[in-house]
């Protein structure tokens, strides 16, 4: 079987030296890619800007920078994969008119007009074929369960992996994570704080569980 995984942040350019981004390191997505590769899957990893890389030589790694590039690359590979894990922290907005030259510090105040980026999981979820398994992520700060449930339904996912920045040791940049898996049958499974490599194992196990229900 073939699995497509996204990881890391996206960087949305303001000018040639500045960008809008987030604190994602890509550790969780890369750990998931390593886990699936170890289980014998053909893995393609679409990775935003990060200094980290997967180590398994069988993983095909594609580097992108912006949300638009990640969307275009995911769309190119989506149809050919059986499992898609949207683990990247894609920017929700991008500067409308990035400058071609470095913006100089002149004014006391400076504003940037932003426009929405494509909802990658949402758009590709509309193209989901029978038998495909789609997994999303939700990093939340408030009303965590409600927001995750909304994303699960809106994006046509099989399950969503929820984690909260309010949990110590969870979220961006940590080597650990504390997640809750919510599937589209209404099942909620909570996991303790553990290394992201073990979280990746739990996610892979849940994917196999979903695959069995689709047979």
Residue that has been written with the tokens 């892979």 in this structure: 204
What lies within 8 Å, CB to CB, of 63 at 6+ separation is 47, 48, 49
**Exactly one of 22, 56, 156, 184 is catalytic; which is it?**
22
Strand 133-140 with 83-86, pairing: parallel
DSSP 60-84: EEEE--SHHHHHHHHHHHHTT-SEE
Is-catalytic flag, 22?
Answer: yes
164: DSSP letter: E
Q: At 34, is the secondary structure helix, strand, or coil?
A: helix
142: DSSP letter: S
Q: Which residues are catalytic?
A: 22
């Amino acid at each position: 079987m073939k699995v497509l995984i996204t990881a890391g942040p996206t960087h949305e350019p303001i000018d040639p030296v500045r960008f809008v981004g987030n604190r994602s390191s890509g550790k969780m997505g890369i750990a998931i890619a390593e886990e699936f590769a170890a289980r014998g899957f053909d893995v393609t990893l679409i990775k935003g800007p990060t200094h980290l890389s997967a180590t398994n030589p069988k993983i095909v790694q594609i580097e992108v920078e912006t949300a638009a590039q990640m969307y275009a690359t995911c769309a190119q590979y989506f149809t050919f994969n059986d499992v898609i894990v949207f683990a990247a922290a894609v920017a929700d907005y991008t500067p409308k008119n990035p400058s071609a030259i470095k913006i100089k510090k002149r004014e006391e105040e400076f504003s940037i007009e932003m426009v929405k980026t494509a909802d990658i999981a949402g758009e590709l979820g509309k193209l989901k074929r029978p038998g495909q398994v789609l997994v999303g992520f939700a990093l939340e700060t408030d009303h965590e369960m409600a927001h995750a449930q909304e994303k699960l339904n809106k994006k046509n996912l099989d399950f969503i992996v929820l984690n909260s920045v309010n949990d110590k040791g969870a979220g961006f940049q940590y080597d650990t994570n504390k997640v809750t898996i919510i599937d589209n049958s209404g099942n909620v499974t909570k996991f303790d704080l553990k290394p992201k490599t073990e979280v990746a194992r739990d996610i892979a196990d849940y994917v196999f569980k979903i695959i069995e229900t689709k047979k």
